[in-house]
């Protein structure tokens, strides 16, 4: 199916091929996203007036213009084709959002994405994959929405399939929308201490990461515990473990915000009789790495 789609794309774009050749080697033909899909993309990204959105290959500017007009956001679009840029600028003017929706004739691969809180794309699978390393290096928490094409083994947080009457002009068809959040980089060895039940407990966490998926091991006072419910959403991390504290099995649920080599948050302790919440902070570093990688002889609890 995916192999077929680019050909459909190319055929439907024939009308604009002569215009496309004006620009230097466009990577993707012009096929506009139907308005109801644009609305869905911006809904899924939960765009607000605080957002700065960049549309890569912005066509007639409809995504940036809608983000500004309906969602109050600011942003810009880039397109190689000067005709598309003129259309987009007129579109922004007509909709009264020229102060918040800008358009530049620029190659999307040479565009600085640093200021974006939301990136939108309607490109092609191989273009998405070429962009992927750059996207994964953006500020953790940056939201990315793509019309019709995913990013292979970087699984989206959310996917929506919809039937769309205005797909490919009025031909109709189905659209898929994929939504990701750039994950913080959390792989490595973390450590912290907590005073629980009057006793200082030393924690060592070794985390492995594949995009937003986490796995790893947690040692508490040298004993190895199973890491449960490990989640990473942007810079928000959470995980849990059940350990015996003062003879009572206590579930410890950690949640916090990753900021470089630090995590700041809280831990909820739930035992058979008592529940409590404590402040929690963890550090990643060479010392922690040495601690976590020394041989573990303790049994997994």
Ligand X SMILES: C[S@@+](CC[C@H](N)C(=O)[O-])C[C@H]1O[C@@H](n2cnc3c(N)ncnc32)[C@H](O)[C@@H]1O
Do residues 200 and 275 make contact, with C-beta atoms less than 8 angstroms apart? no
Rounded Cα–Cα distance for residues 149 and 138 (Å): 20
Beta carbon nearer to ligand X, 64 or 237: 64
Beta carbon nearer to ligand X, 109 or 264: 109
Residue choice 31, 206, 241, 267 for contact with ligand X (CB under 6 A)? 31
- Please state the closest distance from residue 13 (CB atom) to ligand X, in A: 8
Residue with tokens 């649920």: 253
Torsion of CA 66, 123, 52, 156, to 10 degrees: 100
Within 177-206, the residues that bind ligand X by CB under 6 A are none
Within 103-132, the residues that bind ligand X by CB under 6 A are 107-109, 122
- Please state the closest distance from residue 115 (CB atom) to ligand X, in A: 17
Residue 129 DSSP SS3: helix
Those residues with Cβ within 8 angstroms of residue 220's Cβ, 6 or more apart along the chain or in another chain: 201, 202, 203, 241, 243
- Please state the closest distance from residue 14 (CB atom) to ligand X, in A: 14
Do residues 96 and 136 make contact, with C-beta atoms less than 8 angstroms apart? no
Within 77-96, the residues that bind ligand X by CB under 6 A are 78-81, 84
Residue nearest to ligand X according to CB distances in the complex: 57
Rounded Cα–Cα distance for residues 28 and 121 (Å): 11
- Please state the closest distance from residue 135 (CB atom) to ligand X, in A: 15
Contacts with ligand X, residue ranges (CB under 6 A): 26-28, 30-33, 55, 57-59, 62-63, 78-81, 84, 107-109, 122, 147
């Amino acid at each position: 199916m995916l192999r077929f789609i680019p050909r459909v794309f190319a055929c439907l774009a024939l009308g604009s091929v002569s215009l496309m050749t004006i620009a230097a080697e466009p990577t993707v033909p012009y096929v506009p996203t139907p308005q109801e899909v644009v609305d869905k993309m911006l809904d899924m990204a939960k765009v607000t007036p605080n957002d700065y959105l960049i549309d890569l290959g912005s066509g007639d500017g409809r995504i940036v213009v809608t983000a500004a007009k309906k969602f109050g956001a600011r942003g810009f679009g880039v397109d190689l084709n000067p005709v598309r840029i003129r259309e987009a600028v007129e579109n922004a003017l007509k909709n009264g959002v020229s102060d918040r929706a800008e358009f530049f004739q620029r190659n999307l691969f040479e565009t600085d994405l640093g200021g974006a809180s939301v990136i939108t794309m309607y490109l092609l699978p191989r273009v998405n994959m070429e962009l992927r390393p750059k996207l994964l290096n953006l500020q953790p928490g940056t939201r990315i929405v793509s019309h019709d094409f995913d990013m292979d083994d970087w699984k989206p947080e959310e996917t929506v399939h919809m039937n769309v009457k205005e797909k490919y002009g009025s031909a109709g068809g189905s659209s898929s929308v994929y939504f990701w959040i750039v994950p913080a980089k959390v792989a490595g060895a973390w450590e912290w201490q907590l005073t629980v039940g009057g006793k200082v407990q030393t924690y060592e966490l070794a985390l492995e990461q594949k995009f937003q998926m986490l796995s790893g091991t947690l040692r508490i006072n040298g004993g190895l515990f199973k890491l449960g419910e490990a989640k990473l959403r942007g810079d928000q991390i959470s995980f849990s473990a059940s350990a015996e504290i003062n003879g009572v099995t206590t579930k410890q649920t950690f949640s916090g915000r990753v900021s470089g080599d630090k995590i700041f948050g809280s831990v909820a302790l739930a035992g058979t009789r008592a529940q409590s919440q404590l402040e929690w902070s963890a550090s990643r570093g060479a010392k922690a790495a040495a601690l976590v990688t020394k041989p573990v002889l303790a049994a997994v609890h």
